[in-house]
Structure 1
């Protein structure tokens, strides 16, 4: 979970205390400042730009809620939507990719549930481009499969914070993290009968052979 002392606003401090927020990167304040500056200098005549300006000011700590109870649910949703978009841009940048690499190396995103993948670390990505399925998925580079998160707190995260192409982009940037496929194939499971390894059986006829 992020260290709240590094954030320039109370809103970000609260955002990074939510369950599952350890999946998100701590976007560097200087990077946030640079990206939000574009929103702050847009044409105020456009209603969408005005909304971006509001969100940017809140994230940078330049605007606080006028209510003692904080921002309304509608405002919080708007600010979070804006930050999710920022996060997707951040993880595609050199500093963001480096931060994800650190989390990946520590196994923050979990490990592949398949035994033959030898606890290969997973990388997050957007589950689907469908607006009704904007959750998060976990990609294993060893078996080239995707999985749903193991915990509900992660399943509820917004996959758009990473995007559909993030897993591919990550391993293009860090090809040395792609495991040796020969090692994977060598350790592929093969059924045994009374200790004898069965050879020449396809996946489809293994159970027919046993019957």
Structure 2
């Protein structure tokens, strides 16, 4: 794990406000549009070389980037138009992001992300049946410029694309381990109810052999062993009872239509294959000629 001088908990908010001189580069960076998922990494964490071990080889302008991150003042408008500043800024953003991925799995980092989670700042699951479950940011890789940040839903345990500019952030700034360590640290935030699977139906009848991803996970127990006993798949009897009354009428109409088409095809086949037999069709009992009456059309 990473070093931290004070692991007892968060510093009191009043003391923190008194200790801070003003908004520095870190506060400015986290306040930019699209950076809502970031929390403010403590300077104490960034000044400890152990916490940044291995990052020097991944950042080209490491020393200049670290100096920029630790500045006590945000950049002004003139600096933001300077090409040299922007070159260092790109490395500073990468350095801060990689350090951020390490910070958010420390006790103080987890607590800071917990406050964002409770406020719903990470967004909600776009899956309708998850009932607006609050999500967590996750990266699919630890390497830079491999994949952008995604949203992990603790209920259905799937990942989704964030909305707007929030999805333009590199996923390495959060890492693939964060949401799972977060839910282990705060087990009370793990959803207790199992996700509701979507059941595809046609006229009220369930389609045979069709299962959603969530339903397959429930049957395999991927949401936990306790969910296997909670989940009760629907049987054939419940499917029939759930069918609406108008579906039977539709099936009867379709069946009568098919029977009429078959009778018409048989009559056309007789006319084309054997004209003499076709001429005697009306003379048969029950035929349309003398001594017989035409069969009444099927009642729909």
TM-score over 0.5 (shorter chain): yes
- Give the C-alpha shift of residue 7 in structure 1: 7.4
What is the alpha-carbon distance in structure 2 between the residues aligned to residue 119 and residue 62 of structure 1? 39
Task: Pick the aligned partner of 1:35 from 46, 55, 60.
Answer: 46
Determine whether 1:24 maps to 2:38: yes
Q: Is the 8 A contact 2:143 2:172 kept in 1?
A: no
- Misfit runs of 4+, over 6 Å: 46-50, 62-65
Q: Is the 8 A contact 1:36 1:56 kept in 2?
A: no
Unaligned 5+ residue runs, structure 1?
A: none
What is the alpha-carbon distance in structure 2 between the residues aligned to residue 169 and residue 94 of structure 1? 11
Q: Is the 8 A contact 1:110 1:121 kept in 2?
A: yes
DSSP-derived class of the 1:75 partner: helix
CA distance 1:101–1:202, change in 2 (3 Å)? farther
- Give the C-alpha shift of residue 139 in structure 1: 0.5
CA distance 1:20–1:143, change in 2 (3 Å)? same
Q: Which has the larger radius of gyration?
A: 2
What is the alpha-carbon distance in structure 2 between the residues aligned to residue 73 and residue 173 of structure 1? 38
Q: Which residue in the other structure is 2:183 paired with? A: 171
Q: Whose strand fraction is larger, Structure 1's or Structure 2's?
A: 1
Task: Pick the aligned partner of 1:88 from 78, 81, 101.
Answer: 101
Q: Which residue in the other structure is 2:160 paired with? A: 147
- Equivalent runs, 1:2-151 vs 2, <5 Å: 10-27=24-41, 31-38=42-49, 51-61=61-71, 68-70=78-80, 72-129=85-142, 131-151=144-164
What is the alpha-carbon distance in structure 1 between the residues aligned to residue 74 and residue 156 of structure 2? 47
**Two-structure CA RMSD over aligned residues (Å):** 3.8
Q: Is the 8 A contact 1:9 1:59 kept in 2?
A: no
Q: Is the 8 A contact 1:33 1:60 kept in 2?
A: no
Q: Is the 8 A contact 2:120 2:134 kept in 1?
A: yes
Deviations along 1:115-143, one digit per CA (max 9) or x if unpaired, are 21111111001133565433101101111
Corresponding pairs, count: 189
What is the alpha-carbon distance in structure 2 between the residues aligned to residue 49 and residue 167 of structure 1? 26
Q: Is the 8 A contact 2:60 2:91 kept in 1?
A: no
Q: Which has the higher contact order (CA 8 A, sep 6+)?
A: 1
Deviations along 1:85-128, one digit per CA (max 9) or x if unpaired, are 22111101101101111111111111111121111111001133
Deviations along 1:64-96, one digit per CA (max 9) or x if unpaired, are 98x953552211111111111221111011011
CA distance 1:8–1:158, change in 2 (3 Å)? farther
CA distance 1:120–1:199, change in 2 (3 Å)? same
